[in-house]
Amino acid sequence: MDNAMNCPKCNSEHTYQDRGLWVCPECAHEWNAEGGGAGAETSPEAGVRDAHGNVLADGDSVIVIKDLKVKGSSSTVKGGTKVRNIRLTDATDGHNIACKIDGIGAMNLKSEFVKKA
């Protein structure tokens, strides 16, 4: 096992190769052998991106690209609605944009349903 690699997460030497991935049995971390270990851990997403891949920032304006039902209400956010002054949040449920929409109020949106204005 001269070509074995240490785990980039826990530095364990008990790793093994499974097809194109290296696997650590101690911490269950998997990484790409060609990626160079720790370099493969970085997310391809350098920030929150809209549906077209543009990076969003706090204070940007976005446009909703499809009709969205508002949970717990009978109203909908129509496609084409412009939302100003968004705030980016770190939500675990995927709703990573906090905003206020005229006529509806404060709500959270997923970045995959908006495009940068």
Q: What is the mean pLDDT of residues 75-88?
A: 95
pLDDT at 21 over 60: yes
pLDDT at 16 over 50: yes
pLDDT in tens, 34-64: 655 444 444 444 588 999 989 999 999 999 9
**Nearest-angstrom CA–CA distance, 111 and 50:** 5
In DSSP notation, 2-55 reads TT----TTT--S--EEETTEEE-TTT--EEETTTTGGGGGS-S-SS-B-TTSPB
pLDDT in tens, 98-116: 999 998 999 999 999 999 9
**Nearest-angstrom CA–CA distance, 47 and 65:** 20
Contact yes or no for 117/62 (Cβ under 8 A)? yes
Dig out the tokens for 88 from the structure: 């980016």
Average pLDDT along the chain: 84
